[in-house]
């Protein structure tokens, strides 16, 4: 009979998800989340995948951190529903100041509800909460690389991408 071996190479997809080596990076991410446990999990998860994270608990703190930061910020990752300045307002201000920055919005609200409320436009880069650190890192990598399979209004679901 004999033995069979299956080798999984570092760059190979596992199911429909990217492998750990494909989702990591060294880019700088401005993370805006008002919920401390969610902010901590996102910060730790992204750091684990090699990203450099500037965490902020509010929109005003995010704007201050961005202003004080020397160097490039590659991605704004922001919650949408926050007290004071919401994530869409934060995104608009950051984009005025740093036109080349990529933006990924996240929320516990369904994307279509946010579109109906007028907060997001179809096609906006979006990540539905809750998510695992791996799902977050994968979505961040997709946005940084210019791929958009999880934009608002897309039909991709957890069941379709193997997560559900």
51 DSSP assignment: -
pTM higher than 0.85, yes or no?
no
Give the residue among 128, 152, 137, 138 at the shortest CA–CA distance from 42: 137
> What averages of pLDDT result for each successive group of 10 residues across the chain (164 residues)?
36 46 88 97 96 98 96 95 94 93 89 67 86 94 78 38 33
> What integer pLDDT is reported at residue 135 of this predicted model?
94
In a domain, 139, yes or no: yes
Q: How many domains does the chain have?
A: 1
In a domain, 113, yes or no: yes
CA distance 88 to 82: 10
Range of the domain at 63: 20-145
CA distance 64 to 71: 14
In a domain, 101, yes or no: yes
- Sheet arrangement for strand 102-107: 52-56, 28-32, 75-79, 102-107, 126-128
What is the percentage of the chain residues whose pLDDT exceeds 70? Answer: 71
108 DSSP assignment: S
CATH number, position 37: 3.40.50.2300
Residues 6+ apart with CB under 8 A from 118: none
């Amino acid at each position: 009979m004999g033995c069979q071996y299956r080798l999984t190479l570092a760059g190979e997809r596992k199911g429909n998800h990217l492998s750990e080596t494909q989702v990591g990076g060294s880019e700088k991410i401005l993370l805006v989340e008002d919920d401390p446990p969610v902010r901590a999990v996102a910060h730790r998860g992204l750091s684990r995948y090699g990203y450099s994270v500037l965490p902020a608990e509010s929109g005003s703190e995010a704007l201050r951190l961005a202003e004080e930061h020397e160097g490039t910020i590659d991605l704004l990752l922001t919650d949408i529903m926050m007290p004071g300045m919401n994530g869409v307002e934060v995104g608009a201000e950051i984009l005025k100041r740093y036109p080349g920055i990529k933006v990924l919005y996240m929320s516990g609200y369904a994307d279509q509800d946010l579109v109906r409320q007028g907060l997001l436009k179809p096609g906006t880069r979006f990540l539905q909460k809750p998510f695992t650190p791996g799902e977050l890192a994968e979505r961040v990598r997709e946005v940084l690389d210019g791929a958009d399979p999880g934009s608002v209004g897309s039909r991709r679901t957890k069941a379709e991408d193997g997560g559900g």
